C-alpha cells in the first residue's frame, strides 16, 4: 500500500477527535508523535502538527522535519514553539497586553485557508477572547503575515517560503481545527486547509512579489 502523502501528527489523547476521523476519511494518516521515526516522516507532501504536541519528542526528529521541507514539503504547525524544531525560527513570544481589545485578530493578507472566515469569529469564541492566540511565534524574514493580534502587532499566522525549500504555515495558538464544528464562519478553516494541501499548496501571486 502506498504511503499517504499527508500526515497528521496528534498529541496524545484518549479519544479519537472529529478531525482525526476527517483526515482518515480523506485518505491521510493520523499518528501520535510517540509512533514516529524518521522513515515515517519521509515521502510526505504535508505534515500537520497540532498544538500541545510533545515538542521534546518531535525535536529528536528535527533532521527528518528539515529534510521534509528541503524536499519541497509543507509543514502546518500549531502551538507555541518552545524548542528549536526548525533552524531560522524563534521561540514563542507571549503578548504582554492581554485585554479583550489586545487579543482581537486582524487580517493582514488573504489566504485560501481563511477565505470567507470573519476575523470576529476568530477573535471571540462564546463571547470570550484569546482562544485563537495569546502571543506569536515570531515570523522569519520573508514570511507573509496572514493574521496579527491587535496587541503589539504580533503575527499569529504566517506563511514562510523557506530559502532551503518547502514552506511553513504557522499558527501560534490553539489548534486551528478546533473550529471544525464551530457554528461560525471559522468552521471553513478545516475543509479549506485540507483542500489547499490536496491542491499542492498554491502560493498566491502577490506573495511571490514579497507581500508582508
Over residues 188-210, the mean pLDDT reads 86
What is the pLDDT, as a whole number, of residue 184? 96
Over residues 135-152, the mean pLDDT reads 94
What is the pLDDT, as a whole number, of residue 34? 85
Over residues 143-162, the mean pLDDT reads 94
Q: What residue ranges define each of the domains in the chain, with the CATH number in brackets? A: 6-208 (3.40.50.880)
Over residues 71-77, the mean pLDDT reads 97
What is the pLDDT, as a whole number, of residue 22? 96
Which one has a higher pLDDT value, 187 or 99?
Answer: 187
pLDDT band at 129 (very low <50, low <70, confident <90, very high): confident
- Angle of CA points 143, 133, 66, to nearest 5°: 40
Residue 194 confidence (pLDDT) above 60: yes
Alpha-carbon distance 29 to 51, whole Å?
18
Least confidently predicted of 115-129, 134-148, 153-167 = 115-129
- Angle of CA points 85, 67, 44, to nearest 5°: 100
pLDDT band at 15 (very low <50, low <70, confident <90, very high): low
Average of per-residue pLDDT values in the chain: 92
What is the pLDDT, as a whole number, of residue 14? 57
Alpha-carbon distance 144 to 207, whole Å?
7
Residue 13 confidence (pLDDT) above 70: no
Residue 43 confidence (pLDDT) above 70: yes
- CA of 164: how far to CAs of 9, 63, 67, 87, 152, in Å? 23, 13, 10, 10, 30
Q: What is the dihedral of CA 144, 155, 36, 113, to 10 degrees?
A: -60
What is the pLDDT, as a whole number, of residue 49? 97
What is the pLDDT, as a whole number, of residue 102? 81
Residue 210 confidence (pLDDT) above 70: no
Overall size of the chain counted in residues: 212
Residue 212 confidence (pLDDT) above 70: no
pLDDT band at 86 (very low <50, low <70, confident <90, very high): very high
Helix and strand numbers (H, E) in the chain are: 7, 12
SS (H, E, C) 31-78: EEHHHCCHHHHCCCCEEEECCCCCHHHHHCCHHHHHHHHHCCCEEEEE
Coil/strand/helix, residue 94:
strand
Residue with cell 504511503: 3
What is the pLDDT, as a whole number, of residue 97? 74
Over residues 99-122, the mean pLDDT reads 93
Over residues 193-206, the mean pLDDT reads 90
The grid cell for 119 is 476575523
Amino acid at each position: 500500500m502506498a504511503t499517504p502523502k499527508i500526515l497528521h501528527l496528534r498529541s496524545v489523547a484518549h479519544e479519537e477527535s472529529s478531525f482525526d476521523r476527517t483526515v482518515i476519511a480523506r485518505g491521510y494518516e493520523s499518528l501520535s508523535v510517540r509512533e514516529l521515526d524518521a522513515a515515517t516522516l519521509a515521502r510526505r507532501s504535508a505534515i500537520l502538527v497540532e498544538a500541545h504536541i510533545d515538542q521534546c519528542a518531535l525535536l529528536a526528529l528535527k533532521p527528518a522535519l528539515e529534510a521534509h521541507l528541503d524536499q519541497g514539503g509543507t509543514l502546518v504547525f500549531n502551538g507555541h514553539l518552545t524548542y528549536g524544531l526548525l533552524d531560522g525560527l524563534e521561540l514563542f513570544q507571549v503578548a504582554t497586553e492581554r485585554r479583550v481589545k489586545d487579543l482581537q485578530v486582524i487580517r493582514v493578507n488573504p489566504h485560501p485557508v481563511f477565505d470567507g472566515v470573519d476575523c470576529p469569529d476568530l477573535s471571540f469564541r462564546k463571547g470570550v477572547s484569546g482562544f485563537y492566540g495569546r502571543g506569536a511565534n515570531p515570523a522569519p524574514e520573508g514570511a507573509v503575515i496572514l493574521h496579527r493580534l491587535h496587541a503589539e502587532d504580533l503575527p499569529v499566522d504566517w506563511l514562510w517560503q523557506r530559502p532551503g525549500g518547502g514552506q511553513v504555515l504557522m499558527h501560534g495558538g490553539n489548534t486551528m481545527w478546533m473550529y471544525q464544528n464551530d457554528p461560525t464562519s471559522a468552521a471553513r478553516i478545516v475543509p479549506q486547509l485540507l483542500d489547499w494541501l490536496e491542491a499542492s499548496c498554491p502560493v498566491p501571486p502577490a506573495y511571490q512579489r514579497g507581500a508582508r
